[in-house]
Structure 1
Amino acid sequence: MRLSDAEREEAIEALSEHVRTGRLDIDEYGTRSAKVTAARTRGDLAPLFEDLPEPQPSVLRARPVPARPAAPARRFSVGAVPIAAIIALLLFFTVARGLWLVFLIPVVVAFVYGARSR
């Protein structure tokens, strides 16, 4: 994620506080503040504060949880096969009047949708 100017200023203020408390000397502050000014992303900013305690810029404390990729939607589930079998039985006993080929409908549907979902 890219840094804003306000986030860079906050990082320089945090470095200034570390100079005031004696954790950094002036030369190291100059080097790190130049890197903060040139930083474009959080990844550029993080190494500059790894060895320092609080205060740290809030952008480094509030790290977002990486989003998980969504599972692909299943167009056909295994639970649909029993439903298709019930429909085939109803067709067999009502409309088809004994044609056994009606039982192939669930199998064909399962193969067609199973092949399309891959």
Structure 2
Amino acid sequence: MTVPDDGLRASDRERDAALDRLRAAYQEGLLAGAEHERRAGAALAARTRGDLAPLLADLPDGAPPSRRTPVSPLRAWAVFSAVAFMLWVVPAAALGLGGPAVLAWLACCCLLGAPTVALSVLRRPSD
């Protein structure tokens, strides 16, 4: 004779997992405080897996999908310019090289590289 899974006794690990999911649902705003307390108390008192199942049945599985924050083209250009500055101007100054050639190269990198960086950010596939 086989016992349905709902009739099997719940382990401490299963009760802890249910409590973790209820806590996450509360933090995500899916449960009100009183509802969370009621369900958490029922999870602690659960004897079988069948007692735990209804407590989690109306909650989505796992964490919500993360959303990437889009990078603004202005920020991407600023980062690119800072890197170009560090790679060209700082070593040139340290080596005693300078003058208009170094500044012209920096301007070229920043002005010609900015559209490339902006296009790569704008063409990034959305999630």
**TM-score relative to the length of structure 2:** 0.42
Higher helix share: 2
Higher relative contact order (CA 8 A, sep 6+): 2
